[in-house]
Structure 1
Amino acid sequence: MKLIILIIIAIIMDATLHPALAESDIKACIKFQRQDYSWSHAYAVRGFTISGYDLNRFAREKGYKAHYSSYSTYFIVPWDNGGYISLDIGSSYVPSYEKIVTDQNNINWKIKEGWNYCD
């Protein structure tokens, strides 16, 4: 787990040096699915997108193992406590309307672009 967090921190730092690697500071509204299949309250978050290919390449260059789909795009949300989630959004853009996606632990999330009606 610590290795994954180090990868994400390194990507965030490297993305500021190489803007083509990741699109940063995207506002999104996300909710996770609880074990009882209900949805959590909404979180207004900031994150960035990165292709699975670039995410794998970057991790391997740094000596880490990564198993992200090369043909997908991931929305990375770093948490204040040092954790993160990587949501497989599939396309190059965060969806305008709520879409169900999965994270690196196969937990379902709803995601939509922006903070409007994020409740």
Structure 2
Amino acid sequence: MILHDIPKSSAYFYKSLLAEFKPNWNVEIIIGDYNLYKLGFVEEIPCSISLNVSREEIYELQEEILDMEVTIYSYEDILYKNPMDMTDDEKKTYKKLKELEKRYNKFESLENLFSYYLAINGKEI
């Protein structure tokens, strides 16, 4: 699978996120037409991200990230509750939810990236 036309800085950002979230995935960045950048037609060098993974693996990644979101917002009432009014169990849950929310916020852009590419490519990537 190749994701085309990604600015160089974004390509490296996505590669680092994928390396952390799915360390067993082989992710390569392919530098695009450097001349477009050199001539001033684009602000950043266009790149492609090459992944040697199946569509099912992409769907699993998306589902993992969406599961984080669902879990966080299923307990949204605890996240906005005053800590003084929480039971010990609620405080433990709150702490776990905050950690999960931090992780979700970090990897949410991966789910958005793949959703976009699946949508524009008619799920044939």
Question: Same fold per TM (> 0.5)?
Answer: no
TM (norm. structure 2) is 0.28
Relative to total residues, which structure has the larger helix share, 1 or 2?
2
Relative to total residues, which structure has the larger strand share, 1 or 2?
1
